[in-house]
Amino acid sequence: MNRREYAALIERRLKVESDRLRQEFPKYVVQSCYVDDLLPKELALEICNAFPDKSAMMLKKSLRENKHVAAQMNQYAPILEEIVYAFQEPGVLNAVAEITGIQGMVPDEKLYAGGISLMAKENFLNPHLDNSHDIKREMYRVLNLLYYVTPNWGHEHGGNLELWDDGPKGAPREITSHFNRLALMATHENSWHSVSEVKVDRSRCCVSNYYFSPKPLEDHEYFHVTSFRGRPEQPVRDLVLQGDIALRQGIRKVFKKGIVDNKHVYEKS
């Protein structure tokens, strides 16, 4: 299977569910929806089985997060690059635009914060806002596409997408990381989200993409770095992370591209 063949199947599935997804997406502050059985089961299993061991991926571990990620796709099984870029094919992009109502979106060939991710036992993502822009700070990040491929994954296993419609001091609603499920989530200055801690000694595998746009989803311009907060039961961590936001935001105001190279991109020859 190549990316165009995957894309044709994805596009077809999205069009079948388009009416339902179009109604569901705008219901919440963090606009979102999901579709199950995105690909034939055997293809989704092949994708999961092609994931590398976590030791071959980049570990991001701090008070903010604990997960394994990879964007340099030519280092891994070719099937992974094909499924990642299937979500960037024009037919899929158009189908997603029809569902979300977001026009003018473009995919990110460099996979800035995209690619593949793996979360093992005790891995987590604290409540956060994604970086508001692309790596060159020229376009707004407007949509996150998360395709989960770990079989027999239930809510009780953790590693679920949490959406904080009332902000990080409220209570989240959850989208379970079920096998063969694609979640769509808008990204803007109020789209707080997180991933609950993985409770089992297994790997939750995910294929990730972002779409960008020249215009923000809000009715005004804005800029923010990736901004993490503590959970409601983590007041001390929350204070530390708010200081971290202020420091990094201040640096980016002075240095447009930051002072440390972001290694979570696909460097093609």
The CATH number of whichever domain residue 95 belongs to comes to: 2.60.120.620
Q: Provide mean pLDDT across the span 221-229.
A: 95
Q: Provide mean pLDDT across the span 116-120.
A: 98
Largest interatomic CA distance in the chain: 50
Q: Provide mean pLDDT across the span 209-216.
A: 96
Judge whether 156 lies within some domain.
Answer: yes
pLDDT above 80 for 32: yes
pLDDT above 50 for 259: no
- For 26-42, give one letter per residue: b (16+ CB within 10 A) or e: eeebbbbbbbeebbeee
> Confidence band (pLDDT; 50, 70, 90) for 253?
confident
- Number of structural domains (the chain) is 1
H or E segment and range at residue 39: none
Give Cβ neighbours of residue 172 (< 8 Å, ≥ 6 apart): 127, 162, 163, 164, 165, 193, 194
Judge whether 265 lies within some domain.
Answer: no
Mean pLDDT taken over the chain: 95
Q: Provide mean pLDDT across the span 212-217.
A: 96
Judge whether 223 lies within some domain.
Answer: yes
Q: What is the extent of the structural domain holding 153?
A: 3-254
Q: What pLDDT, on a 0 to 100 scale, did the predictor assign at position 146?
A: 98
Which parts of the chain fold into alpha helices (H)? 3-16, 18-24, 41-49, 78-86, 90-100, 235-254
DSSP conformational letter for 236:
H
Range name among 82-96, 190-204, 247-261 with the lowest pLDDT average? 247-261
DSSP conformational letter for 172:
-
DSSP conformational letter for 51:
P
Judge whether 269 lies within some domain.
Answer: no
pLDDT above 90 for 263: no
* Separation of alpha carbons 99 and 24, rounded Å: 9
> Confidence band (pLDDT; 50, 70, 90) for 257?
low
pLDDT above 60 for 258: no
Judge whether 180 lies within some domain.
Answer: yes
Judge whether 263 lies within some domain.
Answer: no
Q: Provide mean pLDDT across the span 23-31.
A: 97
Judge whether 131 lies within some domain.
Answer: yes
Angle (deg, nearest 10), helices 90-100 and 3-16: 20
Q: Provide mean pLDDT across the span 70-76.
A: 97
pLDDT above 90 for 106: yes
Give Cβ neighbours of residue 115 (< 8 Å, ≥ 6 apart): 69, 70, 71, 72, 73, 84, 207, 208, 264, 266
Share of the chain above pLDDT 70, in %: 97
Tokens 């009715």 belong to 219
H or E segment and range at residue 57: none
Judge whether 261 lies within some domain.
Answer: no
Burial status of residue 269 (CB atoms within 10 A of its CB: 0-12, 13-18, 19 or more) = exposed
Q: What pLDDT, on a 0 to 100 scale, did the predictor assign at position 222?
A: 94
Q: Provide mean pLDDT across the span 208-212.
A: 98
